[in-house]
């Protein structure tokens, strides 16, 4: 996977002049020979998206767009909920230069890859710097590659610690500051209330596993890549953090089944009242406090994630962007849809109705948003300082290596952590060398 992407980058660099000539010729062709870009002519937006946690909210948003644009239909193709599986299916379509999609969602770590591969259309002509200033700076940076912007931020996210405030109050505990405190509190509560588990998070082998482990490792002063860009997962602090998760969380504070949990499964355990602590993204607040879907509505608190002694809390930067396919035949209509989705009013709707943290700055001072989700107020600083995963066109290949390593490290108690980490670090170094 990494070598293929590296070859793609070399191809673009070597044949960039040829590509430029082709593009210049295309601009001189008669209008009838070029792609349709008139929204009055194009009647359908082909939107590739993942399976949402709040389908009814997205149905409302799509219906509103179609109502405001009579005769236009949004044809949605819904991919899997897992960001890893969604990425692989979307990448396959784009590799094949499919015209069967105009607009797609991108995880925060994908824009550099999609830009280098030539899959995402640059949006500088439609999304100028003056418009970008309305967004959180980190979300704009995540969509920028080699000076061009390839996506418009839709919502941001960072890891948070949800907890049963009624249980902590009943047993006399404050929200934990360290991982050790969390584990001890969980053990004390579950000893008296054995029908529940101590912790729930995302440890299935997919992108969410990387986010969870990034947070734990960095909270111990470790890194995935060191400041110089070298793999650091075999360093002592990183190993210590992984060992803590394997020995003190998986099959202990958390059920053994946590190794199969992504966001939906881990959240389900929490909203069913079967976990004391839960790591998730901001959207989980709305679900956990909705009495129609949650047995713990009104009993939930939220805090920054724990850290190790001497360390600092860190949250993985998450969130999703909206991009336009380089092979879209309806660019004008596609942009109309992107602009609508990422507008202030739709982001406000998604914040209030779905608990998705907005990327537009002004909404963090919006009374309606804060009334519906007061956690956005104190957590704003976390959103602004969340830790990004490595920004690289080769990140998907690095992620697959990390997923395999973390999955084996956590699921196999006999695995030699240091040896497995060194092996994974060597694979990462080989992948990173493709860009040097």
- Boundary (domain end) residue, out of 343, 358, 385: 385
- Overall number of domains in the chain: 2
pLDDT tens-digit profile of 184-236? 999 999 999 999 999 999 999 999 999 999 999 999 999 999 989 999 999 99
Q: What is the CATH number of the domain that holds 351?
A: 3.40.190.10
Residue 286 has what pLDDT?
Answer: 87
Residue carrying structure tokens 């082909």: 46
Task: Count CA atoms within 13 Å of residue 296 on its CB side.
Answer: 27
The DSSP result for 374-430, as a single string, is TTHHHHHHHHHHPBPPP--TTHHHHHHHHHHHHHHHHH-TTS-HHHHHHHHHHHHHH
- The SS3 call for residue 286 is helix
Instruction: Answer whether residue 56 is part of any domain.
Output: yes
- Shared domain for 281 and 332, answered yes or no, is no
Q: Is 341 found in the same domain as 365? A: yes
Residues 214 and 121 in one domain: no
9-52 per-position pLDDT tens digit: 333 443 344 333 333 333 333 333 334 444 445 699 999 999 88
274 and 423 share a domain? yes
Is 192 in the same domain as 139? no
Residue 351 lies in a domain: yes
pTM of the predicted model, to two decimals?
0.78
List C-alpha distances in Å: 216 to 205, 402, 423: 16, 14, 20
Distances (CA, A) of 207 to 85, 107, 172, 355, 379: 9, 10, 36, 21, 23
- 19 lies in some domain: no
Instruction: Note whether 290 and 395 are same-domain residues.
Output: yes
Question: What is the overall mean pLDDT for the chain?
Answer: 89
Give residue 126's pLDDT band: very low, low, confident or very high (50, 70, 90). very high
Look up the domain containing 166 and give its range: 158-316+391-435
Instruction: Answer yes or no: is 1 within a domain.
Output: no
Q: Is residue 334 part of a domain?
A: yes
Question: Do 90 and 122 have their domain in common?
Answer: yes
d(CA 361, CA 261): 32
* In a shared domain, residues 163 and 308: yes
Between 22 and 406, where is the model more confident? 406
Query: Using N-to-C axis directions, what is the helix angle for 55-68 and 331-341, rounded to 10°?
Result: 130
> Do 90 and 163 have their domain in common?
no
Alpha helices in 228-317 (DSSP H): 236-244, 263-271, 284-288
Inside any domain, residue 30: no
Number of other CB atoms surrounding residue 371 within 10 Å: 9
Residues 84 and 230 both lie in one domain: no
What's the number of CA atoms in the CB half-sphere (13 Å) around residue 205?
A: 12
- Please tell me whether residues 128 and 182 are part of one structural domain: no
């Amino acid at each position: 996977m990494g070598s293929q992407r590296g070859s793609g980058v070399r191809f673009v660099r070597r044949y960039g002049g040829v590509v430029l000539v082709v593009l210049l010729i295309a601009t001189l062709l008669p209008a009838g020979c070029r792609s349709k870009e008139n929204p009055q002519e194009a009647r359908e937006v082909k939107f590739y998206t993942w399976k949402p946690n709040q389908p009814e909210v997205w149905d409302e948003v799509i219906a509103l767009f179609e109502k405001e644009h009579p005769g236009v239909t949004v044809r949605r193709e819904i991919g899997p909920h897992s960001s890893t599986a969604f990425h692989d299916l979307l990448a396959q379509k784009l590799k094949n230069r499919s015209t069967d999609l105009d607009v797609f969602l991108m995880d925060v770590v994908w824009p550099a890859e999609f830009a280098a591969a030539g899959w995402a259309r640059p949006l500088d002509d439609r999304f100028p710097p003056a418009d970008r200033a309305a967004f959180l700076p980190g979300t704009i940076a995540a969509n920028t590659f080699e000076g061009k912007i390839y996506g418009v931020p839709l919502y941001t996210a960072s890891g948070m610690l949800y907890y049963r405030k009624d249980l902590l109050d009943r047993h006399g505990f404050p929200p934990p500051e360290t991982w050790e405190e969390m584990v001890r509190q969980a053990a004390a509560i579950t000893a008296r209330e054995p029908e529940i588990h101590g912790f729930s998070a995302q440890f299935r082998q997919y992108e969410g596993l990387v986010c969870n482990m990034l947070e734990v490792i960095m909270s111990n002063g470790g890194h995935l890549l060191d400041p110089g860009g070298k793999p650091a997962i075999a360093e002592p602090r990183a190993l210590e953090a992984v060992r803590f998760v394997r020995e003190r969380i998986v099959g202990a504070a958390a059920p053994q089944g946590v190794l199969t949990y992504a966001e939906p499964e881990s959240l389900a355990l929490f909203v069913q009242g079967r976990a004391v602590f839960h790591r998730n993204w901001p959207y989980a607040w709305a679900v956990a406090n909705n009495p129609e879907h949650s047995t713990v509505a009104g009993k939930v608190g939220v805090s920054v994630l724990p850290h190790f002694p001497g360390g600092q809390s860190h949250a993985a930067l998450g969130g999703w962007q909206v991009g336009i396919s380089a092979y879209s035949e309806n660019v004008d209509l596609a942009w109309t849809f992107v602009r609508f989705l990422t507008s202030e009013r739709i982001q406000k709707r998604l914040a209030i109705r779905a608990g998705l943290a907005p990327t537009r700055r002004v909404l963090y001072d919006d009374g309606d948003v804060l009334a519906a989700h007061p956690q956005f107020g104190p957590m704003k600083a976390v959103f602004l300082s969340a830790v990004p995963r490595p920004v690289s066109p080769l990140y998907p290949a690095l992620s697959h290596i990390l997923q395999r390593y973390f999955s084996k490290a956590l699921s196999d108690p006999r695995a030699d952590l240091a040896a497995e980490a060194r092996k994974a670090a060597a694979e990462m170094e080989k992948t990173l060398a493709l860009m040097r």
